[in-house]
């Protein structure tokens, strides 16, 4: 970390001694005030629920400029990665810091694509679930269960072991997500095929059956690969922070990733694309485009508790760059499948048009986020709504691992242990209450 020229001085209105706090600079983005010694110097904690102003770590992986609507993985703009690289290149970049050269690319692709099979016992875990279990409940269990298979061979303090765990997770997540789907629909699991691309293999494991050959559609393959790239990492969001916090105890990395999967499930996070599609289907059922205005009034009414799903973001206060790329993919996929007149897509465009003109959304800088269009694309590909978050988890696994491994190799890393402002009862005795 680079010390800035200035420092912060914190003083108190009751005349207590003021303290000087060092300021550090990143390469871009806001500086940070270092408060690590604040408690020792003043006996006080800072209070920041939701981490609105708190950097919990230093990281060199992903940078978001929310005001500009910019997203960089290791310095490269998401637009360039989405159009010039594939998902596995992006994984290599996130894990290693640089894009692979031709030889590294070949080796990495081969490595991941040859570790896609999961232990045969995995299917017995699945049998313990109800057929209608939510795929995220299943995935949380299956990813956690991976730790049982690799616990003794995984020493998180050994960089080589961390690398092996990373490859295993990236390679096996598509297999597990597809198994969760197949279990729900009662079809046989499809074993992975290593000659297919990462996205192509996933499509086949999802939609192929043993009864006939499955031919991968290149447009859908590219679309899925792009969904994976756009979801690969997003700096210190809720699930990534969960993975870091969970992993900070030194737990098994598969267990830490399972914690990330559990966190991602929520509708304010990865569950938003599912919630967004459900919302569009609701508006459609109530009458479609003619009812958008009415729905917007409900969204703007604070007492209704209704939010426009797929809109707004903690960090982006401008158009989410991923939403633009997703909209482009949406057009391609719908054209390929002859669904240009898909009513939900038209409805989504109308919702977006109205919201972008409405003062409620404009004044609060609420723009569509990636989830607004990704649900429509996934639905068109044939992915069921309740599996959307599972696909997101598959794609985000690399980000979680890259962040976890970065934390473990950081010499300043400590177990995460937030403080609190205690507002409960002061010490009292049971005797007095009886």
Ligand X SMILES: CC(C)(COP(=O)(O)OP(=O)(O)OC[C@H]1O[C@@H](n2cnc3c(N)ncnc32)[C@H](O)[C@@H]1OP(=O)(O)O)[C@@H](O)C(=O)NCCC(=O)NCCS
Q: Which residues participate in catalysis according to the annotation?
A: 313, 371
Nearest-angstrom CA–CA distance, 278 and 43: 49
Give every CB contact of residue 338 below 8 A, 6+ residues apart in sequence. none
Which two structure tokens, joined as six digits, stand for 412? 């300043």
CB of 263 to ligand X, least distance (A): 13
The interface mask with ligand X, positions 299-338, x = CB under 6 A, is: x-------xxxxxxxx------------------------
How many residues in the shown chain lie near ligand X by CB under 6 A? 15
Residue 371 CB, nearest approach to ligand X (Å): 5
Query: Given the complex with ligand X, which of 202 and 372 has the nearer CB atom?
Result: 372
**Nearest distance in Å: CB 229, ligand X:** 16
Pick 42 or 318: Cβ nearer ligand X: 318
- Residue sitting closest to ligand X (CB): 312
Nearest to 376 by CA among 414, 416, 347: 347
CB of 64 or CB of 173, closer to ligand X: 64
Residue ranges of alpha helices (H) inside 186-320 are 198-207, 218-230, 238-247, 253-264, 272-286, 292-300
For 365, other C-beta atoms within 10 Å of its C-beta total 14
Q: Cβ of residue 257: shortest distance to ligand X, in angstroms?
A: 19
Distance CA(22)–CA(12), nearest Å, equals: 18
Residue of 200, 301, 228 whose CA lies nearest to 73 = 228
Spatial distance between the Cα atoms of 413 and 430, rounded to a whole number of angstroms:
41
**Nearer to ligand X among residue 221 and residue 371 (C-beta):** 371
> Which residues inside 267-286 make contact with ligand X, applying CB under 6 A?
268, 272
Task: Decide whether 207 or 311 has the Cβ nearer to ligand X.
Answer: 311
Pairing mode, strands 70-73 and 76-77? antiparallel
Q: Binding string to ligand X for residues 126 to 145, with x set by CB under 6 A, is what?
A: --------------------
Closer CB to ligand X, 247 or 312, in the complex: 312
Q: How far is the CB of 47 from ligand X (least distance, A)?
A: 17
Candidate segments 3-11, 41-49, 208-216, 361-369, binder of ligand X by CB under 6 A: 361-369
362-401 residues in contact with ligand X (CB under 6 A) are 364, 366, 369, 371
Give the shortest CB-147-to-ligand X separation in angstroms. 28
CA 379 to chain centre: 19
How far apart are the C-alpha atoms of 174 and 192, rounded to whole Å?
Answer: 9
Q: Going by DSSP bridges, is the β-strand pair 62-65/32-33 parallel, antiparallel, or unpaired?
A: unpaired
Alpha carbon distances (Å) from 114 to 134, 186, 250: 29, 27, 28
Binding mask 215-254 for ligand X (x = CB under 6 A): ----------------------------------------
H/E run at residue 346? helix 343-357
> Using CB under 6 A as the criterion, which residues of the chain lie in contact with ligand X when the complex forms?
268, 272, 299, 307-314, 364, 366, 369, 371
């Amino acid at each position: 970390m680079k010390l800035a020229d200035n420092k912060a001085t914190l003083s108190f209105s009751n005349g207590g001694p003021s303290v000087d706090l060092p300021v550090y600079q990143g390469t871009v983005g806001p500086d940070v005030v270092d408060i690590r010694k604040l408690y020792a110097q003043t006996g006080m904690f800072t209070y920041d629920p939701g981490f609105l102003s708190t950097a919990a770590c230093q990281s060199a992986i992903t940078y978001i400029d929310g005001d500009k609507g910019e997203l960089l993985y290791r310095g490269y703009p998401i637009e360039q990665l989405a159009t010039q690289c594939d998902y596995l290149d992006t994984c290599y970049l996130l894990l290693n810091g640089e894009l692979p050269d031709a030889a590294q690319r070949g080796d990495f692709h081969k490595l991941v694509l040859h570790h896609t099979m999961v232990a045969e016992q995995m299917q017995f875990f699945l049998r313990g679930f109800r057929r209608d279990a939510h795929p995220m409940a299943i995935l949380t269990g299956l990813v956690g269960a991976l730790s049982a298979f690799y616990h003794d061979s995984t020493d998180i303090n050994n960089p080589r072991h961390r690398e092996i765990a990373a490859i295993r997770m990236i390679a096996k997540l598509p297999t597990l997500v597809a198994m969760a789907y197949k279990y729900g629909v009662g079809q046989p699991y499809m074993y992975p095929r290593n000659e297919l691309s990462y996205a192509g293999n996933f499509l086949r494991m999802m939609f192929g059956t043993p009864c006939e050959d499955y031919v991968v559609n290149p447009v859908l393959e590219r679309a899925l690969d792009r969904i994976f790239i756009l979801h690969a990492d997003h700096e210190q969001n809720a699930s990534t922070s969960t993975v870091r916090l969970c992993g900070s105890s030194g737990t098994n990395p598969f267990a830490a990733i399972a914690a990330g999967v559990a966190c991602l499930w929520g509708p304010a996070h990865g569950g938003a694309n599912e919630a967004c599609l459900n919302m569009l289907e609701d508006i459609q059922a109530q009458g479609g485009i003619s009812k958008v205005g009415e729905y917007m009034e409900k969204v703007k009414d604070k007492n209704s508790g209704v939010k426009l799903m797929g809109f707004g973001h903690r960090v982006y206060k401008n158009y989410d760059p991923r939403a633009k790329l997703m909209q482009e993919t949406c057009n391609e996929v719908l054209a390929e499948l002859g669904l240009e007149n898909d009513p939900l897509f038209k409805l989504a465009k109308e919702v977006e048009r109205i919201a972008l003109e409405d003062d409620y959304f404009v004044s609060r800088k609420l723009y569509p986020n990636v989830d607004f269009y990704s649900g429509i694309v996934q639905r068109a590909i044939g992915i069921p709504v309740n599996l959307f978050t599972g696909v997101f988890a598959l794609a985000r696994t690399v980000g979680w691992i890259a962040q976890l491994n970065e934390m473990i190799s950081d010499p300043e890393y400590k177990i995460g242990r937030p403080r609190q402002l205690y507002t409960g009862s002061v010490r009292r005795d049971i005797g007095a209450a009886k």
